[in-house]
A and B are shown apart, each in its own frame.
Chain A
Amino acid sequence: MHNKTITELAAGLRAKEFSSVELTRYYLERISRYDEQLNSYVTVCTDHALQQAEAADRAIAAGDAVSLTGIPLAQKDIFCTDGVKTSCGSRMLDNFIAPYDAGVVERCNGAGMVMLGKTNMDEFAMGSSNETSYYGPVHNPWDLDAVPGGSSGGSAAAVAARLAPVATGTDTGGSIRQPASLCGITGLKPTYGRVSRYGMIAFASSLDQGGVMARSAEDASLLLNVMAGFDERDSTSAEQPVPDYGATLNNSVAGLKIGLPKEYFAEGLSADVARAIESAVDEYRKLGAEVKEISLPNTNLAVPTYYVIAPAECSSNLSRFDGVRFGYRCDNPVDLEDLYKRSRGEGFGAEVKRRIMIGTYALSAGYYDAYYLKAQQLRHLISEDFARAFEEVDVIMGPTSPTVAFNLGEKSSDPVSMYLSDIYTIAVNLAGLPGMSIPAGFVDQRPVGLQIIGNYFDEARLLNVAHRFQQVTDWHTHAPQQFKD
């Protein structure tokens, strides 16, 4: 059952081979059996899930089912869920029962999907290893000593270990693609604005984007069909029509123009990962694609630029956590300033505090031009690199991450080395483009991810390109040994 795709599960539900309640119980049972080892869920919603499953079964019986009615999913704990704890991986929100549903959650509920629970994540989505979570790190299902990546590490580990058929994630600098890569699953960060940010706890508002984490491109297309679309409550939501992402999955990729940025294969990339990526690209050559080298000359400026823009926006967004209206409040504040300082000092972890302070510094009087303005100018140059590349090619490919999963504790004491692990994913967020990571092999029994970057609103093409690869390779069907049964 747990190896079935959501297409197969939906067909099974329609054919009454099993009910949504049975399917939900099956996954809840796997979570209780396995998640102690992984720590991929912060909250498991047993009762809530079974109620949703019962409602889904009634809808199926009444003939009212839509494509994913009755399919279980896991929601990243960054999406507000009415009546269910929404922690964002932080002590600050450990007591926060959201009073409303995020746009994404509303859409999933509206499609009759069943929420199994809320997944663990780096605190406020700030991290690349899931080690900054207040609830402790998530372990990589392929090797429990390894990180799952971050920040959507709980969703990635849950999907990889078959503790959820599919999950949501968010990606500000690589937080869907990098954990998808490290856990050997398929992750898609859509174009900025494609998926509603309403009720998605903000980290860096000009970069944040919700997306999907699945076991295949086909499954990802089904969930994206549910999630994508305009939401007037998100002021930067895109008013663009949403295609049926499943309709073009099987299009031929013969003649597809693939660009390989030479900067993504330069120093810093593990030789073994490079070999896996090259053989993945060879599969595309066999499918008739044309491959050419391109250049994204400002690649090495993406990480420095990001670490001004993201902290600046974070310092502003996170000023709302003040201990007054919701969230953590310190004990016995002596005055208002003490209330603010201690609630924030005790409620936030070290990485969040570092980023708030960097952002505060970059935005403070006298430094704005040197940091924030400069970073926005570089952001323009970085996005122009992509615009020029897309005049020549249809998609850009390269590694998602310079190495396979590193070990827990390996980078947690050195923020800069952690930041550099997102070197290939960050530029995509700065430009606002869609990007995917799909499984493309293993190095030392740890998964390698192939990144595919598309032009604005070209998610359908990314899914098509990924799906064709998955029809001629089987990397995406591998399951971690310990969680196979």
Chain B
Amino acid sequence: MSLEKADIEKIAHLARLEIDPGDVPDYARNLSGILELVEQMNQVDTEGVQPMAHPLRMTQRMRADEVTESNQRDKFQQIAPQVEAGLYLVPKVIE
């Protein structure tokens, strides 16, 4: 699978990554190389093989529906890029 410039731009958009236009050819070449490696997977017929999502085949633990976290908003907002009145600020979304 060889990726073209337009593919890279589309994937970068889906991943919300700004890519310098000058770097797009490098990404196309490197990602195509990685996909070529990945395509070695097709050497093996996996028809009917159970997919393995988790190494220990565990089921997720459940816990009681109780509050376990305390409110630490002030502490967490100390490291935020921009806050005001306890709110995280982002550029205007609705005009």
The residues of A with any CB-CB pair to B shorter than 8 Å are: 95-97, 99, 191-193, 206-207, 232, 235-236, 238-239, 298, 300-301, 303-305, 307-308, 315, 319, 322-329, 333-342, 344-346, 348, 350, 353-354, 356-358, 360-362, 364, 371, 373-381, 383, 414-416, 419, 430-433, 456
Q: Is the CB of A375 within 8 A of B41?
A: yes
B34 touches A416 (CB 8 A): yes
Chain B positions within 8 Å of A323 at CB level: 81
- The verdict on B25 contacting chain A, using a C-beta distance below 8 Å, is no
Question: Does the CB pair B52–A380 fall under 8 Å?
Answer: yes
Q: B86 near A: Cβ within 8 Å? A: no
A338 in contact with B91 (CB, 8 Å): yes
Given A193-B56, A360-B11: A301 in contact with B40 (beta carbons within 8 A): yes
Contact B52 A383 (CB under 8 A): yes
- Contacts A329-B81, A383-B52 known; A300 to B40 CB distance under 8 Å? yes
Beta-carbon contact of A357 and B27 below 8 Å: yes
* Contacting pair B18 A377 (CB below 8 A): no
Q: Once the chains bind, are B17 and A341 in contact (CB under 8 Å)?
A: yes
Q: Which residues of A contact B22 (CB under 8 A)?
A: none
**Given contact pairs A376-B53, A456-B56, A353 touches B44 in the complex (Cβ within 8 A):** no
Write out the residue numbers on chain A whose beta carbons fall within 8 Å of the beta carbon of B79: 95-97, 99, 326
Q: Which residues of the partner chain A approach B20 to less than 8 Å between Cβ atoms? A: 345
Are A378 and B44 interface neighbours, CB within 8 A?
Answer: yes
Binding site for A on B (CB under 8 A): 3, 7-8, 11-20, 23, 27, 30-31, 33-44, 46, 49-56, 58, 60-61, 63, 72, 75-76, 78-82, 88, 90-93
Residue from the set B3, B35, B76, B82 with the largest chain A CB neighbour count within 10 Å: B35
Since A319-B16, A326-B81 are in contact, a sample of 19 more A-B pairs with Cβ atoms closer than 8 Å, ordered by chain A residue number, is A207-B55, A236-B54, A238-B56, A298-B44, A300-B40, A329-B81, A334-B91, A344-B16, A346-B18, A353-B19, A357-B11, A357-B12, A357-B15, A357-B27, A358-B35, A358-B38, A361-B7, A433-B55, A456-B56
Closest B residue by C-beta to A338: B91
Closest to A379 in B: B52
Query: Residue B52 contacts which of A303, A338, A376 (CB distance < 8 angstroms)?
Result: A376
Q: Once the chains bind, are B14 and A360 in contact (CB under 8 Å)?
A: yes
* CA A48 to CA B72, docked complex, whole Å: 23
Task: State in angstroms the CA–CA spacing of A348 and B13 once bound together.
Answer: 15
| Residues of A close to B37: CB separation below 8 A | 303-304, 307, 416, 419
Nearest chain B residue, comparing its CB with the CB of A329: B81
Contact A235 B60 (CB under 8 A): yes
Q: DSSP majority for the B interface?
A: loop
A151, B83: Cα distance in complex, Å: 34
Query: Which residues from chain B contact A415 at a C-beta distance below 8 Å?
Result: 30, 33-34
* Subset of 8 A-B contacts with CB under 8 Å: A206-B54, A304-B38, A322-B16, A341-B13, A377-B50, A377-B51, A415-B33, A416-B37
Q: Which residues of chain A come closer than 8 Å to B58, judged between CB atoms? A: 193, 236
Closest chain B residue, CB of each to CB of A93: B79
Tell me the complex Cα distance, A156–B27, Å.
Answer: 30
A315/B15 in contact, CB under 8 A: yes
Contact check, A325 vs B88: say whether CB atoms are below 8 A apart. Answer: yes
Determine the distance from Cα of A374 to Cα of B16 in the docked complex, in whole angstroms: 26
A326 to B82, CA, bound (A): 9
A380, B12: Cβ atoms closer than 8 Å = no
- Whether B34 and A354, one on each chain, are in contact in the complex, defined by CB atoms closer than 8 angstroms, is yes
**Chain B residues whose C-beta falls within 8 Å of the C-beta of A329 in the assembled complex:** 81-82
**A364–chain B nearest beta-carbon distance, Å:** 6
- Contact present for A376 and B76 (CB under 8 Å): no
Contact A353 B17 (CB under 8 A): yes
**B18, B41, B55, B78: the one within 8 Å of A308 (CB):** B41
Q: Assuming the A-B contacts A99-B72, A308-B38, A378-B46, are A431 and B18 also in contact, with contact meaning beta carbons closer than 8 angstroms in the complex?
A: no
Q: From the candidates B31, B34, B41, name the one contacting A305 in the complex (CB within 8 A).
A: B41
Residue from the set B20, B39, B54 with the largest chain A CB neighbour count within 10 Å: B54
